[in-house]
Chains A and B, each alone.
Chain A
Amino acid sequence: MVNFFKPGSEIRDSWDFLDEKMTGTIDIRVRVEGDMKNPETLSSMINLQSIMEKDEKVTTSYSIANIVEQMHRTVMDDDPNYEIIPENRAKVNNLFTMYSMSGDPDDFSTMVDYDYNVGLITAFSKVMTTIEIFDYVEKMNQEVKLLKGSDINLEFTGMIVILRDLVVMIVNSSVLSIILSLIIIGIIASLFFKRILWGVLAVLPLSSAIIINFGFMGYFGIELSHITALLSSIIIGVGVDFSIHYISQFRRLSQSVDSKKLSREVIDDVGYPIVLDAGSNMGFGALLFSVFLPIQYIGGLMVFAMVSTSLGALTILAASAELLKNRLIDKG
C-alpha cells in the first residue's frame, strides 16, 4: 500500500515515520481459543509471540499473557525473575482477581473476552511487500498448526491476512475477468460480424497486448500484484475499438475492392484514423505525473495499451485478415 505514494509526499513521509520511529503500520493478530487462565495456554501464546517477533519487520507484540507475566512480577516484589507465566492456574486466577479489585473491567477487553475463553495476540509490523506478506503468513500458519492441540485452537488473522486474501482475490478475479472479457468480446464480434473467425481475430490484438504487458512486467521485475493485475484488464477496454474499426472497414470494402488490394485499401482508409485515435489518447500520459502511484500506473498502461493495441490491429490483425481473406470474403 505504501508504494502507492511517491517518496516525499506527505502521506508517504507519515507512513515512513510510523515505520521507522514507531511500531509500524500493519497489524497482525492471532485469535487463541482456550482457557486463558491455563498456564500452558499462556505459555504457548508467549512462544508464538517470540516466533512472530523473529521477523525483522515485526516490531512488537502483546497479549494477555504479557499482562499475566507483569502482574506476576509485581506480586513477587517486582523481581524480574518472576516475569514469567506462573506455574499453576490458581496463581493466574489470583492475579486476575487481584487486578479486578481496583482495575477497570474494560482494561483487558482488547486482549481477552469476558469469559476468559478467547484471547488475542496483537503484533505490529513495518510495511511488507506482497511477497513478504505471503511468506510471513505461510510461515506463521505452519507455526500455528504446530501449537494447535486439544485444549487450544489458534487462528492467524489481522490486517496482514486481509491484505494477503485481498491480493489473491483481486489477482484471481482480474485474471478471470480478462479471460471472460476476451471470450465475451469474441462472441459479440462473432454475432455482429456473423462469423466466428471475425470474433477470434477481434480479440487477437488484445490478447497479444496482454501477453506483451505481462511479458514486460516479468522482464522489468514488476510484481504481479492486485494493482498491476487490476490495471492490466484496462487494456481490453481501450484496445478493442481499433479491431472493430479495422474489421468493419475490411468487411465493407470486401464488397467492392479486389481481394489482392483489399488489405492495402483498408489500411489506407483506417490506418491513419487508428493512429490518430491512439495518439490523441496519449493525453492519458498526463497521469504519469500523479503523486498517487496507481494513477501513474494507469497513465503508463494507457500509453502502452494505445500503442500495443493500435499496432496490433494494424499488424497482427491486418496480417491475419490478409492470410485468411479467402475464407473471410467467400463467406462474408
Chain B
Amino acid sequence: MKKYLLFNLLIFFLNAQSGIEIAKMVDSRKIPKDQSNITKMVLTNSKGKQRINIVISKSMDGNKKQIMWFLEPKDDKGVAFLKIEKKGKDDEMRMWLPAFKKVRRISSKKRGDSFMGSDLSYEDLSTREIADHNYSRLDDQTINLKLCYVLEIFPKKESSSSYSKHISWIEQSTLMVLKEESFDKRGQLKKKKEFLNKELNDYLVMERIFVEDVQKKHSTEVTFEDYKVDTGISIKLFQEKNLKRLPRN
C-alpha cells in the first residue's frame, strides 16, 4: 500500500510542472539549425477581399536570422527583406527595393507593428524570451483529441510587448503550440491563432498558421511549402548583398 501511494505521489509530482517549467520544456525542444520554405500568406479583410503574398524564406537560429525574397504578387517580384534579431536591441531590418536599386532600413521601434500587412506582428514572429514573461499553468484541456497544457503567459514590462496576456494550448506529447489567444493592453481579446504542425526529419515544424484579429475582423493564413531543414545555410547568407539576388531554390 505504501509503495502504491509513493508511486502515485511520484506520478503526481512528475505531472505537476509549473508554468515556467513547461515553458522551459517548450523552449528546449529540438529545432532545426536552419530552415527554408516557400511561404504563402493569404490576407483576408472584413469584407472578404484577399491579398496573396508568396515569398522564398530562409532562416536560422530559430528564425532569429531570416531572409526573404518576394515571388508574388508579380508587382513585388524581386523585393527582398532581411531581419536579424539582436538581444536587447532593436531588430535590424533591411529591404531591397529593385525599382529604386536601393537597400533601405526599416524602422523596428514597435514590436507590435504588423509584418507585411498581415495579422502577425514582429512580436508574434520573434522568439519569446522566458525571462521576459511570467507563466501560470491552468487546467489541462483536450483539443482535437490531443491533451494540452494550458499556460497563461504575462509579458513583463521589459519585454516591451504590445500584449497584456497570452493563453497557449501546448500539446503534451510534442510540446508544440496548437492554439493561442492574445489579449491587448486593455485585456480585450485581440488575436486567435491556430497552428498545424508536421514531422520532418525528426523535427516538428509548422505547416500552417491561421491568425484572426478579432477586433479588426481581418485574418491571415500562412502555409509553408517545400519545407527543408538543416540544409547547411551559411550565416553569410544573411547579408545585405544577398537581398539583390533571387535564389535558385
Contact = CB atoms under 8 A, between A and B. Distances in A.
A115 interface: yes
B47 to A, nearest CB: 7
B86 interface: no
Contacts of B114: 100, 102-105
A47 interface: no
Say whether chain A's binding surface is mostly helix, strand, loop, or mixed. Answer: helix
B95 interface: yes
Interface residues of B, number: 31
Given A91-B100, A102-B106, A97 B49 contact: no
A258 B114 CA distance: 96
* For the complex of A and B, 9 pairs with smallest distance between CB atoms: A90-B99, A100-B117, A105-B117, A91-B99, A94-B97, A93-B75, A102-B113, A94-B99, A114-B49
B113 A103 contact: yes
A313 to B, nearest CB: 62
Contact of A104 (B45, B93, B113): B113
A88 interface: yes
14 contacts: A75-B104, A88-B99, A90-B98, A91-B100, A93-B76, A94-B79, A94-B97, A97-B76, A98-B104, A100-B116, A100-B117, A101-B95, A106-B216, A115-B49
A101 B121 CA distance: 10
A29 interface: no
A81 to B, nearest CB: 15
B93 A101 contact: yes
Interface of B: 43, 45, 47, 49, 51, 70, 75-76, 79, 81, 93, 95, 97-100, 102, 104, 106-108, 110, 113-118, 122, 216, 218
Main secondary structure of the interface of B (DSSP, over half): loop
A100 B120 CA distance: 12
A126 interface: no
Contact of B79 (A97, A103, A114, A115): A97
Interface string A76-107: 10000000001011110111011011111110
Interface of A: 37, 75-76, 86, 88-91, 93-95, 97-98, 100-106, 114-115
A91 B97 CA distance: 8
A267 to B, nearest CB: 72
A75 B47 contact: no
Nearest to A37: B75
A127 to B, nearest CB: 35
Contacts of B110: 102
A138 to B, nearest CB: 35
A202 B104 CA distance: 83
Contacts of A75: 97, 100, 102, 104
